[in-house]
Amino acid sequence: MPEFLQVLTYHQALQILEKNMPPRETEYLPLLGCNQRVLASDITSPEDMPAFDRSTVDGYAVRAADTFGSSESLPGMLSLTGEVLMGSKPILRVGRGQCAWIPTGGMLPEGSNAAIMVEYTEKLGLDTILTYRPVAPGENVMQKGEDVSQGEVVFRRGKVLKAQEIGLLASLGLVRLPVFEAYRIGVISTGDEVIPVDQIPLPGQVRDVNSFALAAALEASGAVVQLYPLIKDDYSCLRQALEKAWHENDLILMSGGSSVGVADFSLQAILSLPDAEVLFHGLAVKPGKPTIGARVGRKLIIGLPGHPVSALMIFYTMCAPLISSAAVNQVKARLTINLASQAGRDDFVPVQLLSAPGGPEAQPLLGKSGLMSILARADGYIHLPYEQQGIKGGEIVTVTRF
């Protein structure tokens, strides 16, 4: 069993967890149920989109050549042959010297190859249209299949579906999609000092912050969350809770019981489960040094520090990327101040994103370690790798949003 303080680097631990993440099955869901879900296979288009050449402007469908030479001083003259109706195929044909009224989105009638905006025309009488500028072939026209062509791979396996992707898939008539099942994740909060949030703490007691904070973060990552009752620092109670959660979930997050002292029975409880292995205990990171990674069968148990700030930071930095790539949202920003770090340790520093004339700025939120109010004001964090000794103010950094 790995011993505490034989610590791994952040990337070493993350690679171990990635390697041991339980596989996810594929399920087919209605389109409306696929928001924030991950595609389990490539999606190809069953048809061209648009399915026909259509106008992108209100105006007149024309033969482009008939407008060549048109100007405000010497307008062209076309004969109005009819009107294109929305939602139906035109029955008219545009011949030489002719045009047809067409609304935005209307299907180009046979014989036409461009559309001229109504703003560059003038109607004389009932059936004569003056054109005040030329248009090129294909101008103001979206060609058949220009957006998506039949047989084209629209999205690859692993794509996270959001509103814009779902809109495109709806336009292609795809009503059921193969997506990975959401991870089922159990949350167990432990500690003799931890009490339910609706109780008034006595001296030395704290309310159960982690269950609620982790559940909210997990739901935002697309997981199905199961909260379990608070567990005291008792081996038999913890083992019973872990066994129940192991049967009911794909992954377990256990907060508390990872630091020196109470860690022994936490590890014993984990190792008492079938086919259990402690992958690591201790990380060269700040915050979150006493983190546990364990495998039980094909499922993971991650023991988070009991302190809410450390627990949440380890969740965001290590757990969220494992659960869904949608959870990783990064932006570039300019660091506002010099930031020191300790070589040989990965530091994760909460920052606030500020608007500035030169682009976004990242303001580190510094203070006493573990203040929840600091994390509550943060928009994300920056990562200082273990081989790096600080960052100078003014440098561009990557901010991972919460």
Q: Residue 352: which CATH number?
A: 2.40.340.10
Query: Range of 341's domain?
Result: 330-401
Which residues contact residue 249 at a Cβ distance below 8 angstroms, ignoring those fewer than 6 apart? 184, 185, 186, 226, 299
What is the domain count for the chain? 4
Helix residue ranges, H only, 81-204? 163-171
Q: What mean pLDDT is predicted for residues 213-225?
A: 93
Is the pLDDT at 6 greater than 90? The verdict is: no
Question: For 169, what's the count of Cα atoms within 13 Å in the CB-facing half-sphere?
Answer: 27
Please report the pLDDT score of residue 302 as a whole number: 97
The pLDDT-based confidence of 36 (bands split at 50, 70, 90) is confident
Q: Report if residue 383 sits inside a domain.
A: yes
Within this chain, do residues 83 and 212 fall inside the same structural domain, yes or no? Answer: no
Helix (H) or strand (E) holding 11: helix 10-20
Within this chain, do residues 152 and 134 fall inside the same structural domain, yes or no? Answer: no
Q: Report if residue 109 sits inside a domain.
A: yes
Within this chain, do residues 286 and 305 fall inside the same structural domain, yes or no? Answer: yes
Q: Report if residue 171 sits inside a domain.
A: yes
Within this chain, do residues 95 and 42 fall inside the same structural domain, yes or no? Answer: no
pTM above 0.75, yes or no: yes
Within this chain, do residues 42 and 77 fall inside the same structural domain, yes or no? Answer: no
CATH for 104: 2.170.190.11
Within this chain, do residues 260 and 323 fall inside the same structural domain, yes or no? Answer: yes
In the block, tokens 């292609």 appear at: 172
Q: Report if residue 384 sits inside a domain.
A: yes
Which residues contact residue 78 at a Cβ distance below 8 angstroms, ignoring those fewer than 6 apart? 60, 62, 66, 67, 97, 98, 99, 128, 129, 130, 131
Q: What mean pLDDT is predicted for residues 251-261?
A: 78
Within this chain, do residues 195 and 262 fall inside the same structural domain, yes or no? Answer: yes
Is the pLDDT at 326 greater than 80? The verdict is: no
Within this chain, do residues 267 and 358 fall inside the same structural domain, yes or no? Answer: no
Within this chain, do residues 300 and 195 fall inside the same structural domain, yes or no? Answer: yes
Please report the pLDDT score of residue 369 as a whole number: 62
As a whole number of Å, the CA-based R_g of the chain is 31
Q: What mean pLDDT is predicted for residues 270-275?
A: 94
Q: Report if residue 5 sits inside a domain.
A: no
Q: Report if residue 269 sits inside a domain.
A: yes
3-state helix, strand, coil split of the chain in percent (to 5) is 20, 30, 45
Q: Which of 133, 96, 107 is nearest to 118 (CA)?
A: 133
Is the pLDDT at 64 greater than 70? The verdict is: yes
Please report the pLDDT score of residue 233 as a whole number: 87
Q: What mean pLDDT is predicted for residues 170-190?
A: 96
336-384 pLDDT, tens digit each:
999 998 888 999 999 999 999 999 999 999 876 667 888 899 999 999 9
Please report the pLDDT score of residue 263 as a whole number: 56
Q: What mean pLDDT is predicted for residues 192-218?
A: 94
* Mean of the per-residue pLDDT values of the chain: 93
Report helix, strand or coil for 301.
Answer: strand
Q: Which of 368, 402, 367 is nearest to 382 (CA)?
A: 402
Please report the pLDDT score of residue 1 as a whole number: 44
Please report the pLDDT score of residue 3 as a whole number: 47
Of 99-108, 137-146, 175-184, 262-271, give the lowest mean pLDDT range: 262-271
Cα distance between residue 83 and residue 105, in whole Å: 13
- Single residue among 301, 327, 353 that ends a domain in this structure: 327
Report helix, strand or coil for 323.
Answer: helix
Q: Which of 211, 207, 204, 147 is nearest to 185 (CA)?
A: 211
Q: What percent of the chain clears pLDDT 70, i.e. is strictly above it?
A: 95
